[in-house]
A and B are shown apart, each in its own frame.
Chain A
């Protein structure tokens, strides 16, 4: 259960947003929309416990949490703009390395399976520098299948993905929510996620 009360963020002297309230129960998703520069990424980073809010509180399972709180860290998977991939490593090595960093399943079979489910089996042994933007994004998202976490925080997950990739993402999100997971997604495009538990939040 992630809850925010009256969150506010500043960039320099300008207020990005203020008074942001949301509440995520198991099975809920929050779609964050807003113009460029409205603070979507900042809100997601605050929710992930990476950045601190200027005002307001964030609480996880009923307890207020500070940035990098261990309880929240153990529950969250944050996938931001930067894919955290190393150009020198292959797709498989990158994915295995990130999965084991987060104490996920990093066996060779599991990693290959995750790559295959994102249609990357042929790129498995390619260095990441040879991959396209969409393929790099797919490796980042493949991490979600290897590291089970209740709270997914995804910043523009559909950026650079093709239609098949967006459909796959939507299926994964649907399955995650059906299992009682939670998700916060910042997006510009319609990723096809709908249902009574999907709410919107527009920053202005």
Chain B
């Protein structure tokens, strides 16, 4: 009971940080061992973004208007692609049970898993986005805001996605995860793509970026707790 109060209180117990560090180390090592899976996700992002100019034609004004939305929608889909793996393998091989039974608070361990997931799947998208933005003729300012927006937005996608992934653990229907999570991604998409549009029209992106940051902070506090509650239900 005391530990549960510690988990829910403002300051996480030291065990939470130790657990998070353990999960980050382990999941990053696992991700680096299966490089093919990492590559698939980044390649998917690059291919989807590249297909759009081929489809809509080479009109520079049209591409520049479409660019931010396309890059953000592709980032959403790419991050969705990696989501089912977040908990499913740990659930199937019994690791999740061991995590729940370990002395570390479960939300801390799950925060670590989400952080590692973002480093392995979200950060590469952020890094690749300025280069892909060039295909749409985005200017320097727009490219910077695009990358900044993704830097604030993709961790939020990982956090929200983790709740969905934990809630759908043990279900055979993989499409349910997409249906559950994509509506939650809508605000991130609106403010992320809106930030780049705001720069293009000369209004400045401070408001949108602030909102993305606020969303990230909210998700950072709430999502690990929600995902941990869902994991506890799944292993019961």
Q: A: which residues have CB within 8 A of B?
A: 48-52, 67-68, 70, 73-74, 76, 78, 80-86, 88-89, 93, 97-98, 100-103
Which residue on A lies nearest to B109, using beta carbons? A101
Determine if A88 and B34 form an interchain contact, defined as CB atoms under 8 angstroms apart: yes
User: What 14 new A-B contacts, CB under 8 Å, besides A50-B100, A70-B1?
Assistant: A50-B97, A50-B101, A50-B236, A51-B236, A73-B101, A74-B103, A81-B94, A84-B98, A85-B93, A88-B33, A88-B34, A97-B22, A101-B102, A102-B102
For B104, the chain A residues whose CB sits under 8 A away are 101, 103
4 nearest A-B pairs in the assembled complex, by CB-CB distance: A82-B94, A88-B33, A70-B3, A84-B94
Which residue on A lies nearest to B89, using beta carbons? A86
Tally chain B residues at the interface, Cβ within 8 Å: 26
> Quick check: is B85 within 8 A (CB to CB) of the other chain?
no
For A70, the chain B residues whose CB sits under 8 A away are 1-4, 103
Determine if B30 and A98 form an interchain contact, defined as CB atoms under 8 angstroms apart: no
Contacts A/B (CB < 8 Å), 23 sampled: A48-B101, A50-B235, A51-B236, A68-B101, A70-B1, A73-B101, A76-B101, A78-B97, A82-B94, A83-B93, A84-B94, A84-B97, A86-B30, A88-B33, A89-B30, A93-B29, A97-B22, A100-B22, A101-B98, A101-B104, A102-B103, A103-B103, A103-B104
Considering residues A67, A85, A101, which has the most beta carbons from chain B within 10 angstroms of its beta carbon? A101
A55 to chain B, nearest CB (A): 16
Secondary structure class of chain B's binding surface, majority of residues: helix
A85 to chain B, nearest CB (A): 7
Which residue on A lies nearest to B100, using beta carbons? A68
Determine if A83 and B33 form an interchain contact, defined as CB atoms under 8 angstroms apart: no
For B210, the chain A residues whose CB sits under 8 A away are none
Which B1-32 residues sit within 8 Å CB-CB of chain A? 1-4, 22, 26, 29-30
Determine if B102 and A73 form an interchain contact, defined as CB atoms under 8 angstroms apart: yes
A53 to chain B, nearest CB (A): 11
A114 to chain B, nearest CB (A): 17
With A70-B3, A88-B34, A101-B104 known as contacts, the answer to whether A52 contacts B99 (CB < 8 A) is no
Determine if A49 and B94 form an interchain contact, defined as CB atoms under 8 angstroms apart: no
For A86, the chain B residues whose CB sits under 8 A away are 30, 93, 95
Secondary structure class of chain A's binding surface, majority of residues: loop
A100 vs B104: C-alpha distance when bound (angstroms): 11
With A78-B101, A102-B102 known as contacts, the answer to whether A89 contacts B94 (CB < 8 A) is no
For A101, the chain B residues whose CB sits under 8 A away are 22, 98-99, 102, 104
Determine if B94 and A83 form an interchain contact, defined as CB atoms under 8 angstroms apart: yes
Determine if B93 and A82 form an interchain contact, defined as CB atoms under 8 angstroms apart: yes
For A98, the chain B residues whose CB sits under 8 A away are 98
For B92, the chain A residues whose CB sits under 8 A away are 82
A49 vs B100: C-alpha distance when bound (angstroms): 10
Determine if A80 and B102 form an interchain contact, defined as CB atoms under 8 angstroms apart: no
For A83, the chain B residues whose CB sits under 8 A away are 93-94
> Quick check: is B232 within 8 A (CB to CB) of the other chain?
yes
A5 vs B33: C-alpha distance when bound (angstroms): 47
Determine if A80 and B94 form an interchain contact, defined as CB atoms under 8 angstroms apart: yes
A15 vs B16: C-alpha distance when bound (angstroms): 38
B133 to chain A, nearest CB (A): 34
Contact of B103 among A73, A82, A97 (CB under 8 A): A73
A79 vs B84: C-alpha distance when bound (angstroms): 26
For B22, the chain A residues whose CB sits under 8 A away are 97, 100-101
B110 to chain A, nearest CB (A): 13
B35 to chain A, nearest CB (A): 11
Determine if B232 and A68 form an interchain contact, defined as CB atoms under 8 angstroms apart: yes
A81 vs B236: C-alpha distance when bound (angstroms): 15
Contact of B33 among A50, A80, A89 (CB under 8 A): A89
For B97, the chain A residues whose CB sits under 8 A away are 50, 78, 80, 82, 84
Which residue on A lies nearest to B27, using beta carbons? A86
For A103, the chain B residues whose CB sits under 8 A away are 102-104
For A68, the chain B residues whose CB sits under 8 A away are 100-101, 106, 232
A148 vs B141: C-alpha distance when bound (angstroms): 57
